[in-house]
Structure 1
Amino acid sequence: MTSLHTVTTMPNKHQPGCPFDPPKELIEAREHGPISSFPFPDGHQGWMVTGFDLIRTVLADRRFSSRKELMRHHPQMDLAGFEIPPPPPGEFLLMDDPQHSRYRKPLVGKFTVRRMRQLTERVEQVTAEHLDAMEKAGPTADLVTAFAKPIPSVIICELLGVPYADRAVFQDNIDKFLGGGVSDEELIAAYTAVQQYLAELVVAKRANPTDDVLSDLLDTDLTDEELKGMALILLSAGFDTTANMLALGTFALFQNPAQLAALRADPSLADSAIEELLRYLTVFKGSMRVALEDVELGGQTIKEGSMVLLAYHTANRDPARFSDPHLLDLRRQDGGHLTFGHGVHQCLGQQLARVELRVALPALVNRFPTLRLAVPADEVELRPESADVYGVRSLPVTWDVTP
């Protein structure tokens, strides 16, 4: 049995030249075992879980809480003396049942596999429109602004009933408060602007309901404040993660030309390719839980009140779960990644993300057979390590124009 390893600082930085791999410190930690000790800046003794099976265990165990107000310690700053407030009404990701179920349950039926697949034709249409625009403006483009951001933005705004003209405002503000790299003042301003807009949108839907998810929720007992919070969660999750998957996924394929060629040559590969890219990239890097009582986990006693950090990106590279885990293999058979989480908090919009990725990524690489980076790979601007969702800030691409 290996001795308990300690992760001494919060490892955020990706290895130089390896923009798709988890931080080296976390890979090394997992090699010592699936759980490590982690001292928080305020002196709290917490835990870092890097093993696939152990993270699934935590996510399925109700003795570990998601409640924001219980997370009195932060892995990168000293919160001693600060009172952590509960999340605003409707923002159910940082809640436990019964509050969590109260908000999630009305949404479950609106994001089923069947209903999301019914959106395929619309996703195909939006994708084709943006590929047409790229081709017309080409032969160079920033794939982030021309393709990766607008497609999921259009779809989630339509689902929520956000007017098309307001879409660009959302893209900019959500990117600021989820993408990192801005001042605290800019972050607060962006978050406040989105909150204010959504409050006004809910009022507008009350006065004039339309055919969208937000209007459908008006028949429930949810208050306007709760609807605003739920809309913020759906809008943020439905846009930012998929946008970064599209851009970073394309970058990863550029760096693995044999896999890119396989995707172009075999349309039936699309489903397994998307699952493998989701595993390999894991743009949402992890989450936190708090032990509600003493819990035995991986041979360690997690004391009541202890913080547990869950490294999804490292678990998705766990050799105990995946063969050659650092290899991008679009034909991989040992799937079952943790990119969308697990348990009661598993991502509500995962089927929507799959539909968008399944349509948009193959359409892109097939429309432009010579698509490639327009700059050296080491000049691609990545999102800062502090970003909640990992990705690229821009992805300059080019292609050959057929006479």
Structure 2
Amino acid sequence: MRDGVKKVVLAYSGGLDTSVILRWLQDNYGCEVVTFTADLGQGEELEPARAKAEMLGVKEIFIEDLQESFVKDFVFPMFRANALYEGCYLLGTSIARPLIAKRLIEIAEATGADAVAHGATGKGNDQVRFELTAYALNPAIKVIAPWREWDLNSREKLIEYAENRQIPIARGKRGEAPYSTDANLLHISYEGRALEDPWEEPSEEMFTRSVAPELAPDKPTYVEVGFEAGDAVSVDGEALSPASLLRRLNDLAGANGIGRLDLVENRYVGMKSRGVYETPGGTVLLAAHRGIESITLDRGAAHLKDEIMPRYAELIYNGYWYAPERLMLQALIDKSQEKVTGTVRLKLFKGSVQVVGRKSPYSLYRQEFATFEADTVYDQHDAAGFIKLNALRLKILGLRDRQA
């Protein structure tokens, strides 16, 4: 057996790439292969993956619905931080990888496997995310990354390999796909091929989760999102599970043309790449969460969160979900959310989302302090001394520079 590997758990979608990887592992490692297919809300029928794995001789097949865990344990903690990578990317692909890798390791331990395998390429971020998680959770595990080992470096070679070994291929796979995609309940991404020229506008036919903003309804949609301790718990007064809530927001936002992003981002492995994303529900959820925080978080806490957010987002993007620094930041973030409870009203209209109302039993907003009308709780004369003390160092600098 190659490198002493007896059994490997493969992250398996049933598509061309992972089906070829499955047989390649059997051919080149001579080992038993266990398949794991995760349902993260990608909207695809997963039972065909089981049938194909059985046809390829797999005895242990795991197909799991992880949608609730995905949103509750990964998406929601990330949204408590208002995480955006490079100012705009909601990390839809990044946040799914630690969950998939975690289950790979757990299944490996349950089945006695000594290795795990994934289909990420040697040029992308996903290989890093999968493997950092795997090594964090099981330092002794062996990780097999076929794209870094084999010479099947083109779609034509993959198809030839599949045909020579009687692996069924969808007819559409025989031609060059216009782009590659990754989907889950939070988002869908489009990359590569037709999108590799960053000057070219994406085709409208590509989008699957949102209507074009100009074709969205001419009347706005109003929606209310309820929060408890930083997590969304209801839509328009109806209590929903985490996955059901995100699904509802996806439908409402997508129908109003919300959530599209065209981004040239900096990959962790060193290159720039162009990605197009649809994250309709997540876009609304971010706006709603910032809206409820605006009346429940103290200024110092809110500003500290904004300072650490880029670092937190970068850790997730780069694959450090299980690193101690991410866990430390999460503890700080979660502490800040204890009173982030209430309701936010949002206006969805032709690609835009706007907070138009917010209320909370823990609101720090006090009209008697903020009013422009006459009041008895704020002495405006106090502002003079406040300004003079804060201006003192500036005055001293000014005196020095005028004398120079």
TM over 0.5: no
Structure with the higher helix share, 1 or 2 = 1
- TM-score, normalised to structure 1, is 0.29
Structure number with higher relative contact order (C-alpha < 8 Å, ≥ 6 residues apart): 1
